[in-house]
Structure 1
Amino acid sequence: MSKLGILPPDTRTPEDLLRGEREENERIAGEAVQDRFAPEGAIHDNLRNYRVRLGFTKQQMAEILGVTPRTYYAYEEGHRAVPTPAIAHLAILTGGDLNEIILGRPAPRSGRAAQVAIDEAIVVLRFLAVKYPDMSMEDRYKVARLHALEDLDGLPRMHPDIIRDFVKIVTRCKLHPEDLPAPPFHEDYGDDQEGWERDMAEWQRIVDEDFPTGEKND
């Protein structure tokens, strides 16, 4: 501004004005994307906040993830990276949103995407009710959540075999006893008696959990 309070002439060309406007719009759009999708904090902080929101203790979270309490404490303190499979496992078992655990808030979804997810979940639940009438509602919801979260890389999402695969993941051999592996063969272990006993105990644990009465479904 001159001493007389008169603005100097704008020497920018129309192309300069358009470029400046475009750059400003891109900056504003970039900030909007950052505000919408950027993490609200470090993943270990988000993990802690997620646990607190669920009302779980650190010991309970360690049990859910299948790790030692010491390992889980290291996750929350940021001393160890949280493995991606562990995050997915936590989301499936707690019915949470992966983005909430990773970013600290649920991911925004378009109305169309949400409707498709709801429609698919209804179909999956109906399929389970017909094909697996003895399955608990808790397990049905776990299957539906796993189905919704999984990226099938182009496979037909609603194919019965795909849904059955998720059933096997959630219920292991309980509803598909034909998939129960054979017990460890002692002769395969040679002199490793300790290894055979360990694997045999794990096999027996699966049998006891999936078939508490000792009877397999036909």
Structure 2
Amino acid sequence: MNLQDAITARELEILRLTVQRLRPVKLGAAIVVTHRPKPRTALVGFLAFDIPQPAAQPAQPERQSMNHIASPDSTDRGIEAAIVAAGKTAPRVTPADIEANIESWWYFTAAEGAEGAAQAGTPHSEQPPVGAASPLRLLTFCVLVLKNGFTVTGESACASPENYDRDIGRRIARENAINKVWPLMGYALREKLHAARVEV
């Protein structure tokens, strides 16, 4: 089509319909209308061009999952193994020292403690009876008696009764109790080292 020719309203409508048909083909379009001095004439330009597709991106290498990387062993024995591997030989408290300092240990749930108190004569006015579905049955205690007679406690509780497991509860309660022994024995060792330096 010669853009210098005047077009009629019908031709303009045909052009508009053509553009609509081209839209699904992802063609870009621009229409410029410039009025001429004569009343019935106009300059119309229609540009159609392919929209360039983005260049294909090179395949990205699959990211390695962090799941295959072993986390450092943060248990007491794992940390001790790391200390030994690092060649540290200065005096320190070890997991073996902790275990050697435990004279005895006791496990019970809060419900068992309450029931034992009731059997020992605690009046109901001070302690209500423990129901079969009482949350006290989900709370586990571990009492560690140390060599010098000092006691520490650890607790374990679960939010959902369905998740309660006696053995798991006892293990967690014991770990929590042992965590309280570390600072006690660390302090005692530091006092011993300090006293030795003062004497020198």
Shorter-chain TM-score tier: under 0.3
Larger radius of gyration: 2
Q: Which has the higher strand share?
A: 2
Q: What's the TM-score once normalised by structure 1's chain length?
A: 0.18
Q: What's the TM-score once normalised by structure 2's chain length?
A: 0.19
Q: Which has the higher helix share?
A: 1
